Structure 1
Amino acid sequence: MRYRLLSACAVPALIISLAAPAQAQEATASQDAAAQSQDVSQSEIVVTAQGRAQVLADVPVAISAVSSEQLAESGTNDIRELNQLAPSLLVSSTGNEANGSARIRGIGTVGDNPGLESSVAVFIDGVYRSRSGNALGELGPIERIEVLRGPQGTLGGRNSSAGLLSIFTAPPEFEFSGYGAFTYGNYDAFRVEAGINAPIGETVAARVDGVYFKRDGFYHDVVNDTDINNRDRYLVRGQLLFEPSADLSVRIIGDYSEKSEDCCAATFVQTDSAPLARISPGLDPYNRPLPGSPALTSTSNPIIPILLALGQNPDGLNGSTYDRDIYNTAGRSFAGKTKDYGISGQIDYSFGSVNFTSITAYREYSNYQGSDTDYTQVDILYRAPNEDGASRAFKTFSQELRLQGSAFDDKVDWLIGGYYANEKLETRDNLRFGTQYGAFAPCRVTIGLAGAGFGPGAINPANSGCLGNVTRAQLNSGLTPLGAAGGLLVAGLDQLSTLNDMGSTRDVYNQESNNFALFTHNIIHLTDRFDVTLGLRYTSEKKDFAATFGNDNTVCPANRALLSGLLGINPTLDSLAGGIIALSCQGNSTSELNGVSMSDSRSEDEFTGTAILSYRPTDDLMIYGSYSRGYKAGGFNLDRSALQASPVLGNPATTGSTANLQFDAETVNAFEIGAKYATRDFMVTIAGFRQEFSNFQLNTFNGSVFLVQNINGCSQDLGTADQDASAATGSCAAGDVTAGVIAQGVELEGTLRPTRDLTFTMGITYADTHYKDDLVGTDNGAPLDPALRLLPGDNLSNAPEIVATASMSWTPEIGSTGLSGLFYLNARAVDDYNTGSDLLYGKEQDSYVIVNGRIGIRGPDNRWGIEFWGQNLFNVDYTQVAFNTPFVAPQQTYSAYLAEPRTYGITLRAGF
């Protein structure tokens, strides 16, 4: 019978060396032993994916594991760099690093809204981080990282619907040691890392680690002569380990990190060929490509001459998508600051055959970030870089308790536990219209006049209301087909021209979440080779919401009062008068909100669980099949624009209703079959999966407002009613509502070690992650929002069907000197995918391959090293996310957050 489990109390003392993906050398108890572990069987890898220290080959779960050794060889010090090592994982960031998103098998939470929890949960030393973006920073020394794929929740901590990242930092040891490393690279980057570990008597050990990283930005703002997307951050982490006996281990961790960085710039998207451009959303019910359409930033696009007339430098529009010289508004800033700190304590105690674990933690996280939110040189929209701007703050207390042991002569390995978390979230915003909004916005309407028979002379950005003199006189005369309404339109345009530097003065959203869960995870050994695993979780979630708004936009109520009587008369007036009202009240910005407060609460109870059958026909091979149900809580959309049912019909916010803010819980039913084969020098794992998501939570920006929409399917054929521009068509009977998102595919990972100093790894994921053909917006069958009409039948955003990773590590001895070399390469090849959550044309990303490398020499016992490294060696240009440029978007203009270009440098390290 295989040795299946290790003592839970021994886990903190393990120094585990894992080669990713999902394999490497055996865990050992000291650095000296680790250096001699090259000949350990691949079947003896130890992970804690099931809440126990287990041999990886015995774990019937799809998991990738990354060791400290491979993290060092690859130069990984940020979880985004794990993309190169785990093919099913994608970590990216967009308009603010606090909004970083992790995806597994194409599933993740997208968008810049802290009201949505992460589909992929992130834990550091067993402590849940409130959002994935909270973990985007320096990691310091890491023992290992485990990437679990599929729903999680029966083992402790926070439940997740798509998977989790579990990061284990290097613990204190009872041996005096220290290290230091210095890195210098292009973009004037320098990074310093150092730490010291010391025993304090025979029962206490302490460890302190610190990292400082500074680097110039990848974008240069020509107007303000400053870099954006720079790095200026540090981390300090201190630990104490108390082990008075073999039965008791207490580990206390305190950490503090801070960032003062400008983030995040975007460039205009240039289409490779004109036919890719689509006409404005809403003008064509099927959003068909227009052959011969102008390029997105061509002057044939009518919004572009207006931007140029208002001061936009043409170089800021005509440069390549990947030209990192950008032209933002003079005086606007992307400056921001992030603080993240906390303390946790883990107690492991063994009494008899039962092991007890307690993890107690308190964390605080805060971030604010300014932005030139329209990403143009024209001052249309901005957020001030202060704590009343785009800011968020989390205060989180969590407590996890677990008991585990064995029963019935080791026939059952049982685990029961409980989890409680209290999260207090405060989000503030002061999104304001810029000083040139009043000159720009009326031109959006006069473009319509120019196309309605008034000719190009209707447009004059230099005049009030963006009206040409002749057109103004014609409208005021009442002699046009618009009749007396013409004079009202002129008055509305003139009022819109006064909408400058108005908007939110201070919006504050508060949300308190109380999460309580009971869980159990049990492995039943029916025979020496056949196991049944049963897990169950009960989760109770309550969220209390409160918001108070401050706003000085008096133009919105004035224009709505002036022009509402023109609506419903004919399509032309609906378009013109409705356009003026919408632009006056964009994003639900109105002085009617000033001083308005609202509050609400929602509660959920959910049972989730897992069942696994696993069988080992030989000592080297395990096969398994599993079912699991996952859950992610519903909540509130923390964005005032969501209150606006219609920019024309009014502002429900003034009634105090939160109906439009709420979204329902996301659930998933997941099925998986797999096999793991492991010998001394070779290991391969394969998994086939299907995941069915109901009430999938999607956050998307439609160019005007952020939408949080639950996505479901309909078993009845909706024709094209879910693909048109109407919000009233495409409903489904409640009894016919089904899962709306499907993720299915195959994952293959393997490692080969032909000699003790040469290791190859590979992984390939085929994931067909798509929306159903017929979609609705809620589980009661309400129609899908028309901004999402391209979703039915298509793949999810940032969900390529094929991703492959590979690495080679060669560490040959150099003669008999004690020196060794290092030659390391890894690569990630990605299939085509769309980067926009609304899947509009122009947001596609072609396939690409990213290659990283490192070469160097190391001293005896790795006491020192010199390494030359490069990331993205071939300087491949690719996009993380493309989005509709705010206010400019309906005129076929997109912007994009770019991935990092090639970086390279040298690292010197030493230790004792």
Structure 2
Amino acid sequence: MKVSAVSLRTLAMLGAGFALVPQAALAQTSNQPDEGDIIDNADVENTTPVIVVTAQGRAQALADVPVAVSAVSAETLENSGTTDIRELNQVAPSLLVSSTGNEANGSARIRGIGTVGDNPGLESSVAVFVDGVYRSRSGNALSELGPLDRVEILRGPQGTLGGRNASAGLISIYTAPPEFEFGAYGAFTYGNYDAIRVEGGVNAPLSDTIAVRADGVYFERDGFYNDVVNDVRINNRDRYLVRAQALFEPTESLSFRLVGDYSKKDEACCAATFVQTDFAPLARVSPGLDSFARPEPGAPALTSPENPIIPVLLGLGLNPAALNSGTFDRDIYVTPGRSYEGETEDYGVSGELNYDLGFANLTSITGYREYSNFQGSDTDYQQVDLLYRAPNEFGGARSFKTFTQELRLNGTFFDDRIDWLIGGFYANEKLRVQDNLRFGDDYGTFANCRIALAINPALANPAADNCFGANIAAIDGTLTGTPAFGAATPLIIAGINNLAQVRDRGSTGDVYNQKSENFAFFTHNIIHLTDTVDLTLGARYTNETKDFDATFGNDNVFCQQNQALLGGLLAVPSLAGLAGGLLGLTCQGNSTAGLDGVSITDTRDEDEFTGTAILSWKPTPDALVYGSYSRGYKAGGFNLDRSALGAPVTFNPANIDPTVLQFAQETVDAYEVGFKYSKRKWGFSLVGFRQEFSNFQLNTFNGSVFLVQNINGCDADLGGGDRDASATTGRCDPDDVGAGVIAQGIEFETTLNPIRDLGFTLGVTYADTSYEDNLVGNDDGSPLDPALRLLPGDNLSNAPEIVGTTSLTWTPPLGDSGMSGLFFVNARMTDDYNTGSDLLYGKEQDAFVIVNGRVGVTNIGGRFAVEGWVQNLFDVDYTQVAFNTPFVAPQQTFSAYLAEPRTYGITLRGEF
């Protein structure tokens, strides 16, 4: 997508919002304070605090760090209402965090690059760390965070430091640590949707060397969706967090911090609505129209009865109101008795040791975490019972057990001319995925209606179990005297009747286990060539081993029966399409009793060298110029989905090749130039970047199954072979295979503090994150999957070209009482983008602006505050992701996961 009229409108909105402000604060001096310090020179008028970050493995003032990093202070996080990583969208223009069919599926993107989280076999392009400890997937951090010290968002590949490798960026969250002064606090919030949030904690020194801290958060809220059929609310909140810490500082040179936490969620999530023309005015499709071509004007709307699948859904019991409700009415029509209830537990313990050895500083971070989630779902997202997961330990369940150990040793050589750092990282992760995805009670009839529509729409009768009923006479020859399919007609009819019996069939418990071991050795060194010129050199070696096994349980015996009946017809040209359709629907997703009790195993091993080189220059004490190259890496793995084992039409469980589940590691070469300038009252940074991704890991839902494929480019012209419906055209010579995704653009951030009590920030990101024009599936030059034939030359999904964040903070004193006022407002302005990873038309999201605000009075009696707040002030309707409604044909209906509507409330705080 090139700069469009909408992009220009977004620029205009940014200009209009300049007076508002990203909360990515820029440091204002080049001092070298301790990690996490925020230095406020209270005796100097109009001084901006220095924010200290550890982006390069040692404490540095943000303005002196020659990398693209945004640092968000605790005050800004509190003012912006940040309680989990989704709210970071409002404070960092290059970041986008969203969630889809499950809270565990959360996905973070930086500069338009991210990983769809529906398949836990794929690791996150954006790694998340809490107190230096790796969270296995981005969705694991979609929970209450409690009191925070700061957040650092590193943009671009992290291939040297940061523990786990990350190809797009890193989010480091630092919780508020214990202190050697007694203190306690409490906060109570009440908001619309009956939201109640209670937070409290206490900090106490036990001696001169030991301090402890305990924090707790409880949050409940009604859901944003109204399930009309079952009379319940969906997407509610019911969660809590407890965290306890101890800090031991026996000497000035030794400190040890121990952190333990436990959080739990017991919530119904995540529903979706039918996409109507109020969201997707272009998504109108006529019968027979190729869904990959832009629809013709005047074609019927997605949910119009003129689309033949809609009368079938109505005949099977869909409430007509579901087709007349707007996309954002938030009334949903779920199958009676189906549930989105689920449960998430997340807990762990970590210890951080810092020891000044004299000649060097030693840092050790040890962490162990366990995470588990299960979520029921009406997986077809509408009232007709086609697909579901029961809400139990097998219902879309995943669990992680993760142990990590990081060691760093850093110091200086040659009279501080070289700041050296060496280290190692080890991670052991045990992943278990369990699934009980089953066809619903209406599936057999519905699937046969799809067959009837393909033969002759007049034959479809949803009132009949096999959707033909008496109309079968038009096939068996009763009416014409000639069977419609010759001698094969009895086989076809028997196949139809078998398909009709696929009701409440499918998985009885599929189990996937993956053990991953990762170890790395790294070094990161800053060479002070002169007093103003630095050369930074970093390198990392990573070894990754993954052992995989899976065992399947399934009771869909009708798949095997139809394979025996219809397999021979696949070789008959005139019958192959119909026989293939019956087999595909009967065995969809490789659901077959032939897999029952079958086990498979596989392993993969990777070695990768990554690193960075940065040349930086400080022409003045207030300015920094730098240029860098870095190479990043994200591990390959296994597609934890049985549907990827083969095409359901020809799938034979006796000949399973588990290697087809593998996908390759993703690598990126990144180039960056930047300029930072910082003064007491004003500072800014400007960054230009280009990132070239090879073996980009794409996970997309094609309406039936999740498709995982590596994406690469071809230097030769494929003649449109990557844009057609054939799976065999578009092959590339392996010598011509190169990067398939390019992200390039400019990032600008600025802060302005004209007086002590007034602060402005502004951030703008322009990122052209696009697929190359000629695409292939793997680095061996294999053709691109036909379901992805809209990708070549277009922007990635959820990758708007222009995003801006702005904020204003005003805290004026209120007379001589010591009280202060609080006025805070921030905004995020987003250009238009496509929300679907297959880029189908009808999934486009227009440009929008989200404004949040907070007003109040603080320091009442030196202890209390009262604040009113609002999120999404103008109640803007927008979607997180639109997707093909399962089984209802991608060319006919879409569904969408909606973003949150306006919320507001009041918060009372007290400190003691």
Q: TM-score w.r.t. structure 2 length?
A: 0.95
Q: Distance in 1 between matches of 2:515 and 2:650?
A: 32
Partner of 1:601: 603
Q: For the residues of structure 2 that align with 1:658 and 1:244, how far apart are their CA atoms? A: 54
- Give SS of 1:159's match: coil
Structure 2 distance, partners of 1:30, 1:562, is 69
Q: Show CA shifts across 1:845-900 (max 9, x none).
A: 00000000000001258621000000000000000000000000334110000000
Counterpart in the other structure of 1:654: 654
Are 1:737 and 2:737 matched, yes or no?
A: yes
Which stretch shifts more, 857-866 or 237-246?
857-866
SS state at 1:726 partner? coil
Letter in 1 for 2:850: I
CA distance in 2, matches of 1:110, 1:275: 25
> Quick check: 1:245 aligned with 2:245?
no
Q: CA deviation at 1:282?
A: 9.7
Could you say which residue in structure 2 is the equivalent of 1:51? 57
Q: Describe the SS at the equivalent of 1:909.
A: strand
State the alpha-carbon separation in 2 of the partners of residues 507 and 222 from structure 1: 32
How many angstroms apart in 1 are the aligned matches of 2:546 and 2:265? Answer: 30
How far does residue 510 in structure 1 lie from its aligned partner after superposition?
0.2
Contact 1:105-1:149 at 8 Å conserved across structures: yes
Compared CA separation, residues 765 and 757, structure 1 to 2 (3 A): same
Distance in 2 (CA, whole Å) between partners of 1:862 and 1:117 is 47
Partner of 1:510: 513
Q: Provide the residue aligned with 1:9 in structure 2.
A: none
Q: 1:286–1:724: 8 Å Cα contact kept in structure 2?
A: no
Unpaired runs of 5+ residues, structure 1, are 1-17, 451-455
State which drifts further: 338-347 or 287-296.
Answer: 287-296
Contact 2:37 2:51 in 1 (8 A): no
Letter in 2 for 1:459: A
Q: Is the contact between residue 243 and residue 261 of structure 2 (CA under 8 Å) also seen in structure 1?
A: yes
Amino acid at match of 2:482: L
* Distance (Å, rounded) in 1 between the aligned partners of 2:785 and 2:483: 36
Q: Which aligned pairs between 1:860-875 and structure 2 lie closer than 5 A?
A: 863-875=863-875
Indicate the residue corresponding to 1:748 in structure 2.
Answer: 748
* Distance apart, 1:575 and its partner CA: 2.4
Quick check: 2:38–2:50 contact (8 Å CA) kept in 1?
Answer: no
1:133-212 map, 5 Å: 133-212=139-218
How far is the alpha carbon of 1:44 from its aligned partner?
A: 3.9
Q: Deviations over 1:467-489 (max 9, x none)?
A: 15244354345715522223322
State yes or no: 1:524 paired with 2:530: no
Q: Distance in 2 between matches of 1:70 and 1:273?
A: 33
Superposed CA deviations along residues 155-176 of structure 1, whole A, max 9, x for unmatched, are 2410100000000000000000
Residue of structure 2 in register with 1:482 after alignment = 485
Aligned to 1:309: 315
Aligned to 2:617: 615
Instruction: Check conservation: 1:667, 1:696, Cα contact below 8 A.
Output: yes
SS at match of 2:491: helix
Q: In the alignment, what sits opposite 2:371?
A: 365
The residue number in structure 2 matching 1:491 is: 494
CA spacing shift, 1:43–1:859, aligned 2, 3 Å = closer
Aligned to 1:556: 559
Q: CA offsets, 1:287-328, max 9 Å, x none? A: 342332211111011111111111110111221111101110
Q: Distance in 2 between matches of 1:492 and 1:69?
A: 65
Amino acid at match of 1:524: I
Deviates more, 1:851-860 or 1:581-590: 851-860
Deviations 1:657-699 (A, max 9, x none): 1122110000000000000000001010000000000000000
More deviation, 89-98/889-898: 889-898
Q: Which amino acid aligns with 1:660?
A: V
Aligned residue runs from structure 1 range 206-245, under 5 A: 206-245=212-251
Contact 2:289 2:295 in 1 (8 A): no
2:567 counterpart letter in structure 1 = S
Within 5 Å, give how 1:594-743 maps onto structure 2: 594-644=596-646, 646-651=647-652, 653-743=653-743
The DSSP-based 3-state class of the residue aligned with 2:170 is: strand
Name the CA distance, whole Å, in 1 between partners of 2:868 and 2:280. 42
Counterpart of 1:6?
A: none
Determine the C-alpha separation between the residues in 2 that align with 1:293 and 1:31: 61
**Matches of 1:346 and 1:275, distance apart in 2:** 54
What does residue 7 of structure 1 align with? none
The match for 1:581 is 583
Alpha carbons 2:420, 2:526 under 8 Å: kept: yes
- Partners of 1:335 and 1:797 in 2: CA distance: 29
Q: Are the structure 2 counterparts of residues 39 and 93 from structure 1 closer, same or farther at C-alpha, using a change threshold of 3 Å? A: farther
Aligned length: 887
Q: Which has the larger displacement, 28-37 or 145-154?
A: 28-37
The AA in structure 2 aligned to 1:540 is: N
Distance change >3 Å, CA 43–CA 621, structure 1 → 2: farther
Alignment of 1:338-353 (within 5 A): 338-353=344-359
1:304 is paired with a residue whose SS is: helix
Which moved further from structure 2: 285-294 or 88-97? Answer: 285-294
Letter in 1 for 2:615: L
Match of 2:336 among 319, 330, 353: 330
The aligned residue for residue 822 of structure 1 is 822
Contact 1:765 1:804 in 2 (8 A): yes
Partner-residue secondary structure (3-state), 1:562: helix
State the 1:284 CA deviation: 3.2
Counterpart position of 2:4: none
Matched, 1:23 2:26: yes
**In structure 2, how many angstroms separate the alpha carbons of the residues matched to 1:30 and 1:277?**
49
Q: SS state of the match for residue 70, structure 1?
A: helix
- Cα deviation, 1:715-737, whole Å, max 9, x if unaligned, reads 00012110111111110000000
Structure 2: gaps (5+ residues): 1-20
CA distance in 1, matches of 2:579, 2:80: 58
**Contact map agreement 1:42 1:678 (CA 8 A) in 2:** no
Residue type matched to 2:163 in 1?
Answer: G
Alignment partner of 1:127 is 2:130: no
Q: Are 1:642 and 1:660, in contact at CA under 8 Å, matched by a contact in 2?
A: yes
Q: What amino acid does structure 2 have at the position aligned with 1:344?
A: S
- When structure 1 is superposed on structure 2, of 664-673 and 40-49 the one drifting more is 40-49
**In 2, Cα distance between equivalents of 1:649 and 1:274:** 36
- Superposition deviation, residue 283 in structure 1: 6.6
Q: Is the 8 A contact 1:405 1:415 kept in 2?
A: yes
Shift of 1:37: 7.6
SS of aligned partner of 1:342: strand
In structure 1, what is the Cα distance between the partners aligned to 2:149 and 2:632? 28
Q: Any idea what SS the aligned residue of 1:642 has?
A: helix
2:867–2:907: 8 Å Cα contact kept in structure 1?
yes
1:126-155 Cα deviation digits (max 9, x unpaired): 000000000011000000000000011312
Given the superposition, is the C-alpha separation of residues 33 and 910 from structure 1 closer, same or farther in structure 2, using an over 3 Å criterion?
Answer: farther
- Structure-2 residue corresponding to 1:459: 460
* Alignment-mate amino acid for residue 48 of structure 1: T
Deviates more, 1:901-910 or 1:272-281: 272-281
Q: Aligned partners of 2:283 and 2:405: how far apart in 1? A: 52
Q: What is the aligned-residue identity percentage?
A: 68
**Which of 490, 501, 505 is the aligned partner of 2:504?**
501
Q: Post-superposition shift, 1:518? A: 0.2
**How far, CA to CA, are the matches of 1:466 and 1:815 in structure 2?**
77
Give the partner amino acid of 1:466. Answer: C
Could you tell me whether the CA contact under 8 Å between 2:95 and 2:110 is conserved in 1?
Answer: yes
Q: Which TM-score applies when normalising by structure 1?
A: 0.95
What whole-Å deviation, never above 9, does each CA across 1:460-513 have from its counterpart, x for those lacking one? 111232115244354345715522223322211111111100000000000000
Aligned partners of 1:636, 1:606: CA distance in 2, in Å?
18
Indicate conservation of the 8 Å contact 1:465/1:490, yes or no. no
Aligned with residue 73 of structure 1, among 79, 88, 93: 79
| Secondary structure of residue in 2 paired with 1:618 | coil
Instruction: Summarize the Cα distance change of 1:447–1:296 in structure 2 as closer, same or farther, 3 Å threshold.
Output: same
1:479 counterpart SS class:
coil
SS at match of 1:250: strand
Which amino acid in 2 is paired with 1:52?
Answer: R
Q: CA deviation at 1:549?
A: 0.2
* Runs of 4+ with deviation above 6 angstroms: 25-33, 280-283
